[in-house]
Amino acid sequence: MAEKEKKDFVKSTVDAAKAVGQSTKNAAVKTKEEIVKLLDQDGNGQIDSADIIIMAMKVPGVKIKRAEFLKREFQKYVPKEQIEKAIETNPATAGIDKALVDKIADDVIKFERNAVSGISVALGMPGGIAMAATIPADIAQYYGYMIRAAQKMLYLYGFPEIDTSEENLMFDSETMNSLTVCLGVMYGVAGANNAIKAMAKALAKGVEKQLLKKALTKGTIYPIVKAVAKWFGQKMTKEVFAGFFKKSIPVVGGVIGGGITFATFKPCCYRLKEALQDTLLSNPNHFETDEEKKIYENIENGVIDVEPDEIREVDNSDDKL
């Protein structure tokens, strides 16, 4: 992406992200209840991963078209026929070199990280009552870029296109839950890593779509989705209020916010990359864990009586170079 195009893209996203929180610009947000109401996008009375995803998807440029992305990224390196096969099947099946896929994934992470960090600084500058409007804007832009990166990596490592249209996100829990699992992998929530590998195996083996949908919405993967959603609810409650008071200090708050964003974004993305690098979609020699096998068998058999794992987050401080 050209430098001017990058700048224009970042500017448009800043403007759009600010617009997400514009409705609160002239109102004092003083209580937890008011902030929850502000962020509760699906109207269920609480903040969770669904609200994060809905807010993120309102930022222009977050939704990635799989065919366009793969064509754009591979056209400088591989023949047209190979790209077409990658779009029709997946890059691994098309015989695209794994090292090239990994390189493009690293470039994706670097670009999205730099973009979101710059926007975080810009959105962190308002002080006083004006900063209340930036609470949902911060969340939208941060997780918007995280979901952009997730989609790109899913497509690089063999997953089919996710329907991220607004109507589908509001009504299709399969799509919402797939993205929730990705966020769970990125933050190291227990069970999410095995879940996404089992999903990849189901796709590679051609398991009936309805069985995978059942697993995501009420079956073997759904308890993991609930665990991720609950964990995010706890995380957002703490972070929103920390951010509220931090941003009462203009400019300095923005710089700190940008630094924190820069430090945490990359480890999350690399966690997802590492999970996707070694699945049956991206690696024919993939070796399954016992837990992954169990989840896959439950998907294949349509099992729905599964207990969720304990909620756990791994250390995010390991910022890989």
70-91 confidence digits (pLDDT tens): 999 999 999 999 999 999 999 9
Residue 191 covered by a domain = yes
What are the tens digits of pLDDT across the range 289-301? Answer: 999 999 999 999 8
Report the percent of the chain where pLDDT is more than 70: 67
Q: CB of 148 within 8 A of CB of 64?
A: yes
What residue has token string 């903040």? 47
Q: How many domains is the chain partitioned into structurally?
A: 1
**Average per-residue pLDDT for the chain:** 77
Average pLDDT over residues 165-194: 82
Residue 2 covered by a domain = no
20 residue type, one letter: V
Residue 35 covered by a domain = yes
Query: By mean pLDDT, which of 116-125, 174-183, 308-317 is the weakest?
Result: 308-317
In whole angstroms, give the CA distance from residue 101 to residue 291: 27
Q: What is the pLDDT of residue 164?
A: 75
Residue 309 covered by a domain = no
Kindly report the length of the chain: 321
Please report how the helices 192-204 and 173-186 are oriented relative to each other, as an axis angle in degrees rounded to 10: 130
Residue 60 covered by a domain = yes
Residue 307: pLDDT band with limits 50, 70, 90: low
Q: CB of 273 within 8 A of CB of 113?
A: no
Residue 85 covered by a domain = yes
Range of the domain at 210: 15-301
In whole angstroms, give the CA distance from residue 59 to residue 81: 34
Residue 315 covered by a domain = no
Residue 173 covered by a domain = yes
Report the percent of the chain where pLDDT is more than 90: 39
Which among 249, 57, 25 is positioned nearest to 135, based on CA atoms? 25
Average pLDDT over residues 249-256: 37
**H helix runs in the chain, sequence order:** 3-20, 32-39, 49-56, 66-74, 80-88, 98-123, 134-156, 166-171, 173-186, 192-204, 209-217, 222-246, 252-277, 290-301
- Which pTM was predicted? 0.80
Which among 118, 97, 90 is positioned nearest to 6, based on CA atoms? 118
Query: By mean pLDDT, which of 37-41, 103-107, 272-276, 291-295 is the weakest?
Result: 37-41
